[in-house]
Amino acid sequence: MARVAVVTGGTRGIGEAICQRLKRQGHQVIANYAGNEEKAQAFTAATGIPAYRWDVGDHEATLEGCARVEADFGPIDIVINNAGITRDGTLHRMTFEDWNEVLRINLGGCFNMAKATFPGMRERGWGRIVNIGSINGQAGQYGQVNYAAAKSGIHGFTKALAQEGAKFGVTVNAIAPGYIDTDMVAAVPAPVLEKIVAKIPVGRLGMAEEIARGVAFLTSDNGGFVTGSTMSINGGQHMY
């Protein structure tokens, strides 16, 4: 059955792959983006997927953005909380703004999107929320106390909200990607990236499409008995 799906941070990288995968599944997909108008327009021109602009870390803007989507396309049944930023640095050098912005967007965005869409899913008796966490939220990472805290928070948020949604037919899950071949990872200096890949048992970076396949399963009817779960897709780099 075709559903209305919103993918935050959906116009590039992992978000773009998720958008395209869900579109192939037959859903009406809307990509959210924060700021790069030119790239968003290019994304829509290339994929035919509409892009709506709002800051997921802004509560009122998120409520208004989701209301616009629902007015244009109907009730939102699938939400992929993928939007995220990094502001890396050791605690010694990290400013409060570096800390606050990452928590506001990466973790706060999940709360804001849920507030906008979860009540409707519950009333209709069906919904799928997938939150994109990170291997660094599971294992920690030097120089990322803000990012690791936000992503770890996503995993706890997922388990708690899953308990609220289960009896209403709403599943809430997370995916924790490892190092994926995206622009964010491409920005890592080559010598550092070589050391990262050396620690991945399968011997390569992941592909954005591999994350999208996980999302496709979790958002399908076949994934209806999976909730409160974190799916690790990391090439065996972190196991627990």
- Domain contains 164: yes
Between these two residues, 2 and 163, which has the higher pLDDT value? 163
Q: Which of the four pLDDT bands, split at 50, 70 and 90, describes residue 190?
A: confident
Give the pLDDT score at 103.
98
Asked whether residue 238 is domain-assigned, the answer is no
* Full residue range of the structural domain in which residue 185 is found: 4-233
Provide the pLDDT for residue 94: 95
pLDDT of 140:
84
Q: Active-site positions?
A: 147
Q: Please, which pLDDT band fits residue 182 given cuts at 50, 70 and 90?
A: confident
Q: What is the pLDDT of residue 136?
A: 85
HEC per residue, the chain: CCCEEEECCCCCHHHHHHHHHHHHCCCEEEEEECCCHHHHHHHHHHHCCCEEECCCCCHHHHHHHHHHHHHHHCCEEEEEECCCCCCCCCCCCCCHHHHHHHHHHHHHHHHHHHHHHHHHHHHHCCEEEEEECCHHHHHCCCCCHHHHHHHHHHHHHHHHHHHHHHHHCEEEEEEEECCECCHHHHCCCHHHHHHHHHCCCCCCCECHHHHHHHHHHHCCHHHCCCCCCEEEECCCCCCC
What number is the average pLDDT over the span 2-23?
97
How much is the pLDDT for 184?
Answer: 74
CATH number at residue 101: 3.40.50.720
- The reply to whether 13 falls in a domain is yes
Q: In total, how many domains does the chain have?
A: 1
Is 240 inside a domain boundary?
no
